[in-house]
Amino acid sequence: MYSGDEVYSDEITSGPNTSDPLGKQDEHPLNFKAWMKMLRQIVRSEIGCTLDDLEDFSFYDAYEDGYSPRTFFEEEIKPEVDSYAG
């Protein structure tokens, strides 16, 4: 029976997980939560709806690729919304 006193060398059970769960935060000026908050504000002010009202986009991929919230809005979200309006 496992008592919890054993020390294992595999990466699953050895010590606390100190990896960055959002990935690459040191390379990006915003963490993902702040990035999404800014994107939500942009969408609300520019389109007048929420992200929940839109189709799913690859937000985290864009964040990891270094897009700013404004750039992602201009290059991905706005053209998609404009295609529905036209």
Render pLDDT for 43-71 as a digit per residue (tens, 0 to 9): 999 999 999 999 889 999 999 999 999 99
Domain residue limits, the chain: 25-85
Residues 69 and 32 sit within 8 Å (Cβ to Cβ) = no
Mean pLDDT of the chain: 79
Taking the C-alpha atoms of residue 34 and residue 30, their distance in angstroms, rounded to an integer, is 6
pTM greater than 0.85 (yes/no): no
pLDDT band at residue 4 under the 50/70/90 scheme? low
Give the pLDDT confidence score for residue 14 in this predicted structure: 45
